[in-house]
Amino acid sequence: MVEQAIDVAVIGAGPAGLAAAIKAKEAGAEKVTIIERAEQLGGLLHQCIHNGFGLVYFNEDLTGPEYARRFIEKAMDLKIDMQLESMVLDLTAAKRITISSKEGLRTFHAKAVILAMGCRERTRHQIMIPGTRPAGVFTAGTAQRYVNVEGYIPGKNIVILGSGDVGMIMARRLTLEGAKVEAVVEILPYIGGLIRNEVQCVHDFDIPLFLEHTVTEIIGLKRIEAVTIARVDQNQEPIPGTERTIECDTLLTSVGLIPENELSLKAGVALDPITGGPFVSDTMETSVAGIFAGGNVVHVNDLVDSVTSESEVAGAGAADYAMGKTTPAGRKISLKGGENIRYIVPHTIGADKEVTLSMRVREPGEKVKIRIGDVFTKSLRVVKPSEMLKVNLTLEQLGKIGEETGEIEIICEKRG
């Protein structure tokens, strides 16, 4: 098999892959190739036809396809090589990439690689809902594709399990299309997605929201006919006697997203068990030298704008690596999640350039303070696990981290 030598290979042409490839090219990498298994560029954005994209990055309110279009056009202007309908089957630590394409199996040897494979949805199977196996049970993302891309309505009476953003957005979408959303059922005492989606997609349409409830049974033989829901206790176990039956012809699940890291594992990239994505440095480099990562493959972002910014860092880092411009190893500071901090990305930082940290809390809180050692504090009125927190650390703040410090703890504490 003939092997094609390139500077930077980008796996995935969603917003992460497009932003990373553009940045790599702008930073000076000559041969940049995006490899995408779908027949079009843009990743999941082409099925997200609602607005709300780009508010941070462009200060404009765009739909998913409009947001993607800006990057697709730029990538084309820069003459970035695009390999569509090409599935990456294998990736090695030596950065050999095997793809299956219309021309058959092909291999690339890249100086640097950017992982941008996004994430996939958890399914009914993974949360093990008891009951029969009728038609009419879909993930919310599959239903989104049916409605927005293929032009099919999955059903007329819908129950949505889980209050992730995709599920809430589909509650509104299906209502607008004439279906009746009977209930959104969430096991936690709070919603799983953004507050703006709770307000604009659930409350504004008077859709019943059952917090601290779950689906305990799926009923129906050929097609789903009803679900049983029940209140749960503190251990998320259904409370006997609280069951009620809701008739429906469709159940959508919106119960979490899983970063797609099977290829990363093949290359020996170390994964963070909390995020499900690679451990990354402040250049978004993984544990394997020259393999970088950006977007939902690293951690599930709430806003595509953050996916873009983070992936631009990966693109710049990959270009530098491919051109042999790596800076001598300076200080490496590990970030540790302390009180009520579930995770932080990146996992390690240097002290020589400004950095944006993304983090999530474990539990909701009010009147809290984010504290990073003695270097940074920020007061916040409300924090929720579903809303990503962003902190920019300036060079001055980084300079205040003591020379001997190898690790710094970030906490989210109650204000006195």
Ligand X SMILES: Cc1cc2nc3c(=O)[nH]c(=O)nc-3n(C[C@H](O)[C@H](O)[C@H](O)COP(=O)(O)OP(=O)(O)OC[C@H]3O[C@@H](n4cnc5c(N)ncnc54)[C@H](O)[C@@H]3O)c2cc1C
Which residues of this protein are in contact with ligand X, per CB under 6 A?
A: 11-17, 35-38, 43-45, 48, 87-88, 116-119, 121, 141, 144, 165-166, 169, 257, 260, 263, 295-297, 301, 304, 307
By C-beta, is 213 or 347 nearer to ligand X? Answer: 347
By C-beta, is 9 or 361 nearer to ligand X? Answer: 9
DSSP type of residue 239: P
Q: State the minimum distance, in angstroms, from the CB of residue 137 to ligand X.
A: 15
By C-beta, is 167 or 238 nearer to ligand X? Answer: 167
Where in 194-278 does DSSP place strands (E)?
209-211, 213-219, 226-231, 244-247, 250-253, 257-259
Q: State the minimum distance, in angstroms, from the CB of residue 258 to ligand X.
A: 9
Six-digit token pair at 5?
């030598």
Q: State the minimum distance, in angstroms, from the CB of residue 55 to ligand X.
A: 11
**Which H or E run contains 258?**
strand 257-259
User: Distance (Å, rounded) from C-alpha 150 to C-alpha 169?
Assistant: 17
By C-beta, is 144 or 157 nearer to ligand X? Answer: 144
DSSP type of residue 387: S
By C-beta, is 17 or 136 nearer to ligand X? Answer: 17
Residue whose tokens read 């049974």: 217
By C-beta, is 297 or 383 nearer to ligand X? Answer: 297
Instruction: Give the list of residues 6+ apart from residue 110 with CB closer than 8 angstroms, or none.
Output: 5, 6, 7, 8, 9, 33, 95, 97, 322
In our burial notation (b when 16+ CB lie closer than 10 A, e otherwise), range 306-320 reads: bbbbbbbbbbbbbbb
DSSP type of residue 281: -
Query: Quick check: 223 and 155 in contact, CB under 8 A?
Result: no
Q: State the minimum distance, in angstroms, from the CB of residue 385 to ligand X.
A: 17
Q: State the minimum distance, in angstroms, from the CB of residue 119 to ligand X.
A: 5
User: Distance (Å, rounded) from C-alpha 115 to C-alpha 271?
Assistant: 13
What's the distance, Cα to Cα, between the start and end of the chain in Å? 66
Six-digit token pair at 225?
């006919």
Q: State the minimum distance, in angstroms, from the CB of residue 394 to ligand X.
A: 27
Query: Quick check: 215 and 159 in contact, CB under 8 A?
Result: yes
Q: State the minimum distance, in angstroms, from the CB of residue 236 to ligand X.
A: 24
CA distances 326 to 223, 269, 329, Å, are 58, 19, 9
By C-beta, is 14 or 154 nearer to ligand X? Answer: 14
Q: DSSP letter string over 322-358?
A: HTT-PPPP---EEEEE-TTEEEEESSEE-SSS-EEEE
Q: State the minimum distance, in angstroms, from the CB of residue 183 to ligand X.
A: 20
Strand, coil or helix: 201: helix
By C-beta, is 162 or 295 nearer to ligand X? Answer: 295
Q: State the minimum distance, in angstroms, from the CB of residue 349 to ligand X.
A: 22
By C-beta, is 65 or 373 nearer to ligand X? Answer: 65
Task: Please list the residues that pair with 376 across neighbouring strands.
Answer: 372
- Quick check: bond before 346 cis, omega within 30? yes
